[in-house]
Amino acid sequence: MTDTQRPVRDYPFSAPDRLHLDPFYAELRRTEPLTRVRMPFGEEVWLATRHSDVRTVLGDPRFSRAASVGRDEPRITPRPIEGGMLSMDPPEHSRLRRLIAKAFTARRVELLRPRTRQIADGLIDRMVEDGPPADLVERFATPLPITVICELLGVPVEDQEHFHAWSEAIVSTTSLTPEEIKQYLESLWGYMAGLIAERRVRPTDDLIGALVRARDEDNDRLSEDEMVRLAAGLLAAGHETTVTQIPNFVYVLLTHPDQLDRLRAAPELVPVAVEELMRYVPLGVASSFARYALEDVELGGVLVRAGEPVIGSLSSANRDESVFARPDALDLTRSTNPHIGFGHGVHHCAGAQLARMELQVAVAALLERLPGLRFAVPEPELVWKSGLLVRGLKHMPVAW
C-alpha cells in the first residue's frame, strides 16, 4: 500500500468513556503504527501510536513545533492552539525554559514537600470535621495544587475562584464559546500583568518576582508580553492537570480494590504507584500539538515528507506491549516504567517534579488519613467533565 492509498480515519476514534483507552490504538500499534487521521479542525496529520515512534516525534529535532506557526494545525479545538513556549523550538524555547527551570528542580521541589503535606492535612481536617459525604474535587483536589502553585509563584490564593475559571480556556475544546475563551485568556493575562506591576513597586523573592527581575535587568532575555504569558501559563498549567489527575488516580484505585489494598498495606510503594498511575491513566482526550517534519523522515515504516505534521499518542505509547508487560493491567509494583506521561524531549513538562511530588503527597495523605475512602454514590452515577482536552471527574462524592 502506498502512502496515498492509506485510509484517512476520523480522530479521535471515539468519544471519551471515563478512563478507558480506545482498543483501536492497540490494533494500530500492531498493524499500522503510523496512520493518517483527520481531526475536527486543521489539516490532515500522521498519528504515531508506538512508544519508540512517539518518543522520536517528541524528541528528534527533525520534528518542529515552531513550524506549526502560521499553519492550519490539526487540532480538536475550534480556535488555533495558543502559542507561547509550546510553539517554540530551541534556542528560543531554551531561553524561556531556563528562566523557570530553577524553580522546578528536584531539590527545590523536595523543599516544598512538608508544606504540601501540611496543606493536604488541613484540607482533610476540614473534610473530616464537616463529615461525609464530601466532593473530593472541590474540597481536596482543586485547592491542594492551587495553593502550592500560588505560594511558589506569589499569587494570592484567595483569587483562585477567578483564575481557576479563566484557566479552563487553555484546556477547553467545546466547553466554552470562542468568545468566552478569548475573554477568559485576556482576563488571565490582565490579572497577571497587574501582579507583575505590583512586583515592580514591591519586589519579591517568588517566581513572578524572579521573572520581573530577569525582564528588567536584561530586556533581551524576556519581552514584556512573554513574561505575562509565561507567568499566566505557569499558573494555569501548574494546577490544571494536577487538579484533574488527583481524582483520576483515586478513581482508578477505588475501581481496582486489589491494587488499593496492596498500596494500603505497603504505603512505601506510593512513589512507584504514582508512576504507574501516570502511565495507566489516559489523561488526554486525543493527541495534540503536532510536530512538523523539517526533512523527509522514516517513521513507523512510513516516509514522512518534509512539511507534513505528525502527532504522537502518549496514551497509546504508555500501553505499548513491546515496552510494558501486561500494559492494560494496573500494577502498582511495576519497577521498570519508562512512561511518557509527562511528555518527552525539549517540551517535557517543566513542572513534572512538582506534579509528581503533589500527586505522591495527595495519594499518601488520603490513604493514611482516610483508610475507609470510598465512593459516596454508585460508580455509574459519577459525572465526568466534557468539552475539554483532558478527561476528569466533574464531581467525586466520597465517604470514609
**Cell triple for 119:** 496543606
Percent of the chain with pLDDT over 90: 69
In the numeric block, the cell 488555533 is attached to 80
- Looking at 88-102, 207-221, 335-349, 357-371, which range is the least confident one? 207-221
* Res. 206: pLDDT tops 80: yes
* Res. 105: pLDDT tops 50: yes
Q: What is the pLDDT of residue 248?
A: 98
- Sign of the C-alpha dihedral computed for residues 297, 302, 305 and 310 taken in this order: negative
Q: Of 57-61, 75-79, 152-156, 226-230, give the range with the top mean pLDDT.
A: 57-61
What range defines the domain where residue 384 resides?
3-399
Contact 174, 191 (CB under 8 A): no
The C-alpha atoms of residue 328 and residue 26 are separated, in whole angstroms, by 10
Residues in CB range of 378: below 8 A, 6 or more apart: none
Q: How confident is the model at residue 85 (pLDDT cuts 50, 70, 90)?
A: confident
Q: What is the pLDDT of residue 2?
A: 44
* Res. 329: pLDDT tops 70: yes
Tell me, yes or no, if the pTM score tops 0.85.
Answer: yes
Q: What is the pLDDT of residue 81?
A: 72
**CATH number for the domain including 348?**
1.10.630.10
The C-alpha atoms of residue 352 and residue 100 are separated, in whole angstroms, by 13
For residues 373-382, give the mean pLDDT: 97
* Res. 97: pLDDT tops 90: no
Q: Across the chain, what does the average pLDDT equal?
A: 92
Q: Residue 32: how many CB atoms within 10 A of its CB?
A: 18
Q: How confident is the model at residue 3 (pLDDT cuts 50, 70, 90)?
A: low
- Looking at 66-70, 91-95, 131-135, 391-395, which range is the least confident one? 91-95
Q: What is the pLDDT of residue 229?
A: 85
- The string of pLDDT tens digits covering residues 33-62 is 999 999 999 999 999 999 999 999 999 999
Residues in CB range of 268: below 8 A, 6 or more apart: none
- Higher local confidence (pLDDT), 281 or 209: 281
Q: How confident is the model at residue 5 (pLDDT cuts 50, 70, 90)?
A: low
Number of folded domains in the chain? 1
Q: What is the pLDDT of residue 276?
A: 98
For residues 370-395, give the mean pLDDT: 94
For residues 162-183, give the mean pLDDT: 83
Q: What is the pLDDT of residue 219?
A: 65
* Res. 186: pLDDT tops 60: yes
- Higher local confidence (pLDDT), 247 or 177: 247
For residues 29-33, give the mean pLDDT: 97
Q: What is the pLDDT of residue 1?
A: 45
Name the amino acid, one letter, at 320: D
Q: What is the 3-state secondary structure (H, E, C) of 19-31?
A: CECCCHHHHHHHH
